[in-house]
A and B are shown apart, each in its own frame.
Chain A
Amino acid sequence: MSAKVKFFAYFRELFAAKEKVVALQAGTMVRDVLAGLCDSAARRSEIFDGDRLKPHIVVMINGAGIQSFQGLETPLKDGDVLSVFPLMGGG
């Protein structure tokens, strides 16, 4: 089982990738995947504020915000696509 994590904006630089494939165990949650990816203080401090997401950080599963599910505690399924980016707008 695996999920794909896509990075956007300066997160591509931060994680040195446009996307990464991560292995999933039964019950792996969004928090586990993100914590695994944040393997340095610099990465962790950009994503997490304690055990919560920093304000302005958006995490989506298959195009829907994780708030629609169970937030960081949402379990992931095989083939899920996670998108991680700083909140942005424009026009």
Chain B
Amino acid sequence: MSAAPYGFHGRILAIDLSRGDVRTKPLDASLVADYLGGRGLATRLFYDAVDPQCDPLGPDNGFVIATSPLLGTNAPTACRGHMVFKSPLTDVIGTSNSGGTWASAFKSTGYDAIIVKGRASGPVFIDITPERTEVFPADKLWGLDVHQTTDALSAESEPGLRPRVLCIGPAGENLVRIAAVVNDKNRPYGRCGPGAVWGSKKLKAIRVRGKAKIQVQDKERYQSGYDQALYLMKQAPVTKRLFRELGTSGLVELINVINMLPHRNFLDSFHDEEDLEKVSGETLAKTLLERAGGCFLCPIGCQRHTRVESKTGDYEKGEGPEYETVVMMGALCSVYDLPAITRANYRCNELGMDTMSFGGTTACAMELFESGYIRPEDAGGLDLRFGSADALEILARLTAYRQGLGDKLAEGSFRLAGYFKHAELSMSVKKLEIPGYDPRASFTQALGYMTSPSGACHLRGGYAVSLAFFGGTKEIPRFSLLQSPIAIRNMQNTGILQDSLGICRFTGFAFSTDPWARMVSGITGMDFSVAKLEEIANRIATLERMFNDEAGLRMEDDALPERFSRVPIVVAGAEKVVSRDAQERMRADYYKVRGWDETGRPSEAARKILHIKGRNS
């Protein structure tokens, strides 16, 4: 075993809640060389620790949160943690990323990653400091929402050292399959239902505080990458000012320009422009925005700190909405009421629930309702037609507490639609709700949703949207069957590296991998060239696939719902679908590009080329 590299503390915290057992394990430098940190490191530790066949809500499931070598430096946006678990929503690997302050604070406790398994006999929270880690009863916290829990655990232990809290709300406690784990009150690890995994373990929160520092091996090399990154972020309008001025929902009208903005549970993509303007980033900035904000060390500042009138006429404050929330709770539900979307966003944050899957599941419920499959008596008198803005906030509460129809929404759209005997109305891949970019408007994005390890996710599946803006050229495909597999592999790999470096996706709009390669090489003293990082991304993608393969995933699961091959939308004047044939061709080529066999299984040869070792239990 070799010593831990620079940039890390060399310690992993392993907790078994069934036994109340807390241990510290060394972090092997070879793991960093092969998997870098963040998503890569978490995936490897998770693969070694958890049986792919386990019940996602049983004690044998576990979760890993890992940090990267950049956390603890001043690298721009380097504050993000990555959580890996088996998802109770998708039954395959759950992989979710968050900014905020918690991950950096966790690293300041002197640990690089945490693995939690087992199930406590009653509610608990974990308290981590450099001196000790303890598991405390949390009976008094159980039932509190995310904001209340965070406040209850945030009292300063010494001046200037505020604890940071990562916790679940009622949705996680009630094993809602779309429940999130949240830090800084409003920054979620949102997708794939990690909150339900925590709830099943009776784990309410992890509180961290400390001042442990990491060492940088080659400060000059680090600084050269840092300087270049910061310079380029000041050049690109998107990182220099656009996100700060408009937030991510500045994108709403632009995505409509390229006919990619979904409507009515993906039945069409037509929006009245006046309606869209009501939910645009500009309108949000003019009406609800109090100030922009940023995660720790972020110069971009996309956060929306907002204020909205409540139903009782009072004003309440919170965070959001972002692009995905505006689209999933808004456009997808034919709701163009920004205050209503914002209030429902606040409720999701407090209750600890993914706004994206909640919006997608609500849109599914609305189509089931309009089709007569959910009857008015099933809905408890709620008007669930498309456009019912008032339903959002009510449904969020019902879902988090599993009351009435909310008990079915709590299962996500796939199980909801299946319960009402129309599973085909769930717009999901691998049971994860499709984000707010219509895959019929970009074959590359379609293939990304199909092959994302965690189901339909624009972040894990590859973000092909900026390609669409420049699209249709010979160089960059939007509707190219031939080029989409390579293009999306490249986009996915970029995302894997960003997740493994603990940095924000949005830096990718200003510059690519090279400055990060210099920074991470300077920190660790290990030679992470761009080519080496690319190899690491390929290794991580294949390891995720190995877990999914062992969990029972099959080639047929890498497909879009039937609607996308049968019902066209109009893109730049032409009707577009993603036919079955097109899906199968792109999928087959994607498997080849990844070095997997024709059924999508990572071959022995691919594992050898990528030096992926077998499970190390």
Residues of A within 8 A of B (CB): 6, 8-10, 12, 56, 58, 60, 62-65, 67-68, 83, 85-91
Contact = CB atoms under 8 A, between A and B. Distances in A.
B72 to A, nearest CB: 26
B242 A9 contact: yes
Contacts of A63: 257-259, 571-573
A87 B237 contact: yes
Contacts of A9: 237, 242, 245-246, 250, 254, 282
Contacts of B469: 58, 60, 65, 87
B101 interface: no
Task: List the 10 shortest-distance A-B pairs measured between CB atoms, nearest first.
Answer: A68-B472, A90-B248, A67-B473, A86-B237, A90-B251, A63-B572, A90-B323, A64-B572, A83-B257, A58-B469
Contact of B254 (A12, A64, A85): A85
Given A9-B242, A58-B469, A65-B473, A88 B259 contact: no
Contact of B471 (A6, A12, A68, A87): A68
Interface stretch (B140-148, B457-465, B545-553): B457-465
A89 B465 contact: yes
Contact of A90 (B245, B249, B471, B571): B249
Nearest to B256: A63
Contacts, number: 98
10 contacts: A8-B253, A9-B242, A60-B469, A63-B571, A68-B473, A86-B238, A88-B254, A89-B466, A90-B250, A90-B302
Contact of B466 (A62, A64, A67, A87): A87
B435 interface: yes
Contacts of B251: 88-90
Given A8-B254, A58-B469, A65-B473, A87 B245 contact: no
B505 interface: yes
B254 A62 contact: no
A65 B248 CA distance: 21
Interface in B419-463: 435, 458-459, 463
Contacts of B508: 89
B459 A60 contact: no
B136 interface: no
Given A62-B573, A63-B258, A88 B242 contact: yes
Of B463, B469, B572, chain A has the most CB atoms within 10 Å of the CB of B469
B324 A58 contact: no
A89 B472 contact: no
